[in-house]
A and B are shown apart, each in its own frame.
Chain A
Amino acid sequence: MPETVFGLPLHPLVVHGAVVLVPLAALLSVIMAVSQEKRARWGILAWILVTAAWAATIAAKFSGTNLKDSLYPTVTPLKTAQHADYGSSSVWFVLALWLAVSAMLLLDLDRRRRDGFANPILPTLVAVLIIVAAMAASGQVALTAWTGTDARWG
């Protein structure tokens, strides 16, 4: 991944994507998790947004590591190290959301094929997983953004 774009570091550009898209995708995922009608209408859009949010999170992580290495080749300040830790976990939380949303869409495809859920517990379980993952991912990204802004501006 390039370290800079148009002569500026890449990281502060791509983090915009993660900071906004993760909560937005999380919100739409929760809406599609709790309403079957909304799922038929916006399910695919939620999946696309979560996928984009995940890609943005990965780009933020790797560009951030590059920026850290070029700013602090030897010793990383505490705030930056903590921010990097939070950022690395964000990737996994957003992946969990992506998996849960994907599972929900697959369950729904199956429901349409056989005219009803094979096991009615499953969609409820996946919906709960989506809600938990959506809150965890948004919270983790907020923490990451907070510590990152503090490292730069505090």
Chain B
Amino acid sequence: MPESIGGIPLHPLVVHAVVVLIPLAALGVMAIALVPKWRGRFGVLVVGVAAFATVMVPVATSSGEQLQESRPDSELIDKHAELGNAALYSAIPLLILAVALWWLGRRADRDAPVPRWLNWLVPALAIGVAVVAIVQMVLIGHSGAKAVWSGV
């Protein structure tokens, strides 16, 4: 992966996508978890945003590691890197649950039966994971911003 693009480090560019799209996907997941009739209408959009955001997470962490190596050691950066490395642990479950909700919506639209426990378990898990993903992203983003902007 290139470390920089046009002389500018790659990391601050790609983190935009993760910082906005993970919370956006999480809000979408919460919405289709709470309102079943939205699953068929918006499900594919939520899955699309969640998938793109999830792919961007490893791009953000590996470009971040490269940026870290080119900078002097810093406790703030270490903390940020540690938090950032855990981002995938909520992003991947979020994507899986988005797909599961979309699938439930498609089954419901076709009046195809699903086991009843799935109809409460998937939305409940989805809301829980969405909250965790948002909290994680706030902590990661804030620790990264502190590493860059403290003292400005």
Contact = CB atoms under 8 A, between A and B. Distances in A.
B142 A9 contact: no
B20 A149 contact: no
A15 B152 CA distance: 17
Contact of A12 (B6, B20, B49, B148): B148
Contacts of A12: 145, 148-149
Contacts of A152: 12
Contacts of B15: 16
Contacts of B17: 20
Interface bracket on B: 20 to 34
B13 interface: yes
Contact of A6 (B13, B41, B42, B142): B142
Nearest to B146: A8
A118 interface: no
Interface centre among A7, A16, A17, A145 (most CB of B within 10 A): A16
Contacts of B6: 146, 150
A8 B145 contact: yes
Nearest to A152: B12
Interface residues of A, number: 25
Interface in B41-64: 41-42, 45, 49
Interface in A15-38: 15-17, 19-21, 24, 28
Interface centre among A8, A15, A71, A145 (most CB of B within 10 A): A8
A16 B9 contact: no
Tell me whether chain B's interface is mostly helix, strand or loop, or mixed.
helix
B8 interface: yes
B150 interface: yes
A71 B8 contact: no
Given A20-B16, A42-B45, A153 B8 contact: yes
Contacts of B41: 41-42
Contact of A149 (B8, B24, B149): B8
Contacts of B42: 42, 45
B21 interface: yes
Interface centre among A6, A145, A149, A154 (most CB of B within 10 A): A149
A5 to B, nearest CB: 10
Contacts of B146: 7-8
A13 interface: yes
> Which 3 residue pairs spanning A and B have beta carbons closest together?
A20-B20, A19-B16, A8-B149
24 contacts: A7-B146, A7-B150, A8-B146, A8-B149, A8-B150, A8-B152, A12-B149, A16-B141, A19-B20, A20-B17, A20-B19, A20-B20, A20-B24, A21-B20, A41-B41, A42-B42, A71-B152, A149-B13, A150-B6, A150-B7, A150-B8, A153-B8, A153-B12, A154-B7
